[in-house]
Structure 1
């Protein structure tokens, strides 16, 4: 059985129910809105975040309509943030498929993102759980803060791991943390369990983002992310930050500042990519992933009681580390 099948094994019927509810949330009779929502529905990913919510609910109790509506709310909130991010980043692709702003235009994309956000809030309201409503409302603020921090970091001449982690903790890690917290909340977990689940989610999310950043140093049309795409968007990620801080010279740091100012050209990006590989940036990032992997295993050892859920969550963190896209 492959890793994804192991992850899904204890929640197959729950996941099927989620997909039906999520797809229903993206149905509309209006022509243009209907087309845009259909475009989003067709580019559905592997459902990694909803699966985490369902697994966490199963670990601490049972899934319910509260779990399902919270999962749909979070996935819609996440989807809205991606639609808006593509506008901000002027991105024409996401995971090898055309973005909403590329198929239509920025105005349509922003409005569709707003529609998704409102629909997310509607499903969260269906939970009738104030703690879940509050948590997901805070998540929306955190994601926006992360984007603004990332944009403001362009003007910051400091190239540091601290800023890198602050950004990803408010973006990717915050989403995974929310998945674990609301899954646990929906199943009636205790405060200690909810707090531990949140830490697990955050560690998992940081690990997920580091793996995603490593992809940027290898060309792959499968993921719709050519080599150096993050740098082309003004982002310095963990591998190049480490390489610059451990062995970079003034000329290379000047190129890094050009990345932040978005004035760098493809040839200069190629120089930074090669420098990063030659100076241990990839190995360092993989080592950091290993540290977060260990923290995730600690949670599983202490808070996961059932063998089938333990096997699924172990497969989940293995998949995050080993995935190729």
Structure 2
């Protein structure tokens, strides 16, 4: 099924307007900055987050200039955070292309990230909405806190689902939650509707991250990272957390602690990946995604009244859980 075409159908013209505005925001005449911004523009993803903003606005009212500037502001904030994350993670690639820090250097990447962040603030100011500005500011704080929590969690010997969800709710889920809320806000939705939209967005974000984490247990070139990459970076995700908790295997727990300590070998990571697959880790993570999927369907049935928008958001939800990249 061509999920992306179904998702975009009710907002096709508005999405084109968004892309034009976003690309203009990432343009500059100066040499080095111009090159760096062009490099970022050329690695554009599927626009899943701004699409969610546009769909939520369409559901609760109309897509306006307020919606568009809010969407550009949020996408720019997200883009800036990725540029900075690549510096923190010492990552050489982003979506199969060289990261900004690899293409240029860390100094340039940090400054370009700062420039994009400032541009995000500029666009969100064009909404003339104090509430939307506040949402974006809080999102920036939450994303930064999530990154710091993830770094501190690597040093933490505790291995628990609770800590895992704390991290992803302040990273991936926070972005989707903010998109849903800002889209609804921009269309003048009532407070109770905004809260329902936020919950839908959070569920989407958690599903999205669990699906990403499952990818790490399989060697797929199209995903863009090798098997066990998360463990190589000191991260323990839901599948292995479940396998460790359900079996109580002390040998594997010792390897998991080596992951956190940064002393694990490639062969030991392969052992942990195999152990996770053999002890229901993937099935458990898959089950959690479908439970959240069922919760999200309730929102579609009770809060989305336009048939085209409901069909689009259902395709969005199904795509997030069934995607293979």
TM-score range, shorter chain: over 0.9
Structure 1 residue 104 and structure 2 residue 104: aligned? yes
Match of 1:56 in 2: 56
Between stretches 87-96 and 236-245, larger displacement belongs to 87-96
Match of 1:212 in 2: 212
Distance 2:32 2:220 in 1: 32
Match of 1:74 in 2: 74
Does the CA-based 8 Å contact 1:77-1:117 persist in structure 2?
yes
Structure 1 residue 157 and structure 2 residue 152: aligned? no
Displacement over 3 Å in runs of 4+: none
In the alignment of these two chains, the number of paired residues is 325
Match of 2:320 in 1: 320
Distance 2:224 2:44 in 1: 15
Q: CA deviation at 1:37?
A: 0.5
Q: CA deviation at 1:93?
A: 1.3
Distance 2:30 2:165 in 1: 41
Pairing 1:120-159 to 2, within 5 Å after superposition: 120-159=120-159
Structure 1 residue 255 and structure 2 residue 217: aligned? no
Q: CA deviation at 1:96?
A: 1.6
Does the CA-based 8 Å contact 1:95-1:225 persist in structure 2?
no
**Structure 2, unaligned runs of 5 or more:** none
**Structure 1, unaligned runs of 5 or more:** none
Distance 1:317 1:260 in 2: 33
Does the CA-based 8 Å contact 1:95-1:222 persist in structure 2?
no
Match of 2:184 in 1: 184
Q: CA deviation at 1:248?
A: 4.0
Distance 2:138 2:222 in 1: 33
Does the CA-based 8 Å contact 1:96-1:221 persist in structure 2?
no
Distance 2:265 2:32 in 1: 37
Between stretches 28-37 and 9-18, larger displacement belongs to 28-37
Match of 1:288 in 2: 288
Distance 2:222 2:97 in 1: 10
Does the CA-based 8 Å contact 1:255-1:264 persist in structure 2?
yes
Distance 1:34 1:267 in 2: 43
- Cα RMSD, aligned residues only: 0.8
Distance 1:87 1:270 in 2: 27
Match of 1:300 in 2: 300
TM-score normalized by the length of structure 1: 0.99
Q: CA deviation at 1:221?
A: 2.0
Q: CA deviation at 1:23?
A: 0.2
Between stretches 241-250 and 141-150, larger displacement belongs to 241-250
Match of 1:269 in 2: 269
Match of 2:46 in 1: 46
What is the DSSP-based 3-state SS (H/G/I as helix, E as strand, rest coil) of the residue aligned with 1:81? helix
The CA deviation string for residues 128-172 of structure 1, in whole angstroms up to 9 with x for no partner, is: 001000011000000000001001111211100000000000000
TM-score normalized by the length of structure 2: 0.99
Distance 1:30 1:108 in 2: 13
Q: CA deviation at 1:257?
A: 1.1
Distance 2:307 2:12 in 1: 16
